[in-house]
Amino acid sequence: MRIAMDKDFRGNTYIIQNEDVLLNYSGGFADLANEIPNTLNTRFASASMGKTFVAVGILQLIEAGKLRFEDTLGTILDIDLKSIDPDVTVKQLLNHTSGVPDYFDESIMDDYEALWTDFPNYRIRHNKDMLPLFIDKPMMYPKGEKFQYNNTGYILLAMIMEKISGMDFDIYLKQNVFDKCSMHDTGYYAFDRLPARCANSYIYCPETEDFRSNIYSVGAKGTGDGGAFVTVEDIVKFWNALIRHELLSEKMVSQMFSKQSGDGKDPEEGYYGFGVWIIDNPEGQDYVYMQGCDYGVSALSEYNPNNGMITVMLSNYGDNVWSRMRKVRKELY
């Protein structure tokens, strides 16, 4: 069975089922001014999709006995946490129940660019560079009280990874995740040092009816809460490595893909595991997905364990990958 892609989608879509490619689509330009098209091996910014990579790195450290779910911020990080509860656990950071102050609270904020008005985005090169954006804020709620998606939590997880491994989180992930999966086109790249085949990300400007790039809208380099550049084929390799238990044990992958938090009131958003979102499926195994959204960036990839299907959608124009994923579920699941 094959599926057609909307021809107005600007980005790449790749759908595979048990090695059978159901859809391989590329549209739009990686470089708009020079009309260089997106191709299968174009690298796209993936925003919060990177949280899934960080979660895997942390779970690896847990399996290696170097970290525990119950370990706390106060006992791991040697920084002044100020009003942040030092007893927040690694598990609470992983499943977004920590209550730590979110530097970008998506429940009340919608203008990510406003973060850089007083704090230039070009200064964001490492996780510690994000500290001024949240370290002086109070806890959002008592630890463990509820689920609330939290970007800061994954900044702190990346800092934990750095503390324990003794290397920058992106280097750790390259050596222990990306290289193990042969994800040779995936990495965390600074905007002023982009390697070949990286797509620019574009924001539409209604007042001038043209586009501008997002280089002043997000951090100069990805951090623990997101920002990896990926290709559609690399994301498939990542899913396959998880499914085949090449990155984590079967038991740990099962925990990662299990409902750890959330209430499922929004059936499409679903629940949260460790670094992944989960859609309840009463008729079989739950669907597992990762997603990301920034100015000029939208990314979504889903694994359906019932039929072995992996879908990857990456857009460098912020096109609606969620509505298109609904179409895939309706037509192929």
* 108 falls within a domain: yes
Q: State yes or no: pLDDT of 285 exceeds 60.
A: yes
Number of folded domains that form the chain: 1
Question: Binning pLDDT at 50, 70 and 90, where does residue 13 land?
Answer: very high
* 268 falls within a domain: yes
* 194 falls within a domain: yes
Q: What is the pLDDT of residue 46?
A: 98
pLDDT tens digits, 298-309: 999 999 999 999
Question: Binning pLDDT at 50, 70 and 90, where does residue 79 land?
Answer: very high
Q: State yes or no: pLDDT of 1 exceeds 60.
A: no
Q: State yes or no: pLDDT of 5 exceeds 90.
A: no
* 4 falls within a domain: no
Structure tokens at 151: 């970007």
Q: What is the pLDDT of residue 140?
A: 96
Nearest Cα neighbor of 152 from 242, 202, 85 is 85
* 6 falls within a domain: no
* 184 falls within a domain: yes
pLDDT tens digits, 82-110: 999 999 999 999 999 999 999 876 665 56
pTM for the whole thing?
Answer: 0.95
Q: What is the mean pLDDT of residues 196-213?
A: 96
Note down the domain range covering 161: 11-332
pLDDT tens digits, 35-71: 999 999 999 999 999 999 999 999 999 999 999 999 9
pLDDT tens digits, 140-174: 999 999 999 999 999 999 999 999 999 999 999 99
Tell which wins on pLDDT, 124 or 196: 196
pLDDT tens digits, 179-196: 999 999 999 999 999 999
Instruction: Report the alpha-carbon distance of residue 326 to residue 287 in Å, rounded.
Output: 12
* 79 falls within a domain: yes
Question: Binning pLDDT at 50, 70 and 90, where does residue 121 land?
Answer: confident
Structure-token match 């008005």, residue found: 117
Q: What is the pLDDT of residue 119?
A: 75
pLDDT tens digits, 308-318: 999 999 999 99
Q: What is the CATH number of the domain that holds 166?
A: 3.40.710.10
Distances (CA, A) of 258 to 27, 28, 191, 287, 291: 34, 36, 35, 10, 17
Q: State yes or no: pLDDT of 111 exceeds 90.
A: no
- The backbone torsions φ and ψ at residue 302, rounded to the nearest 5 degrees and listed phi first, read -130, 140
* 1 falls within a domain: no
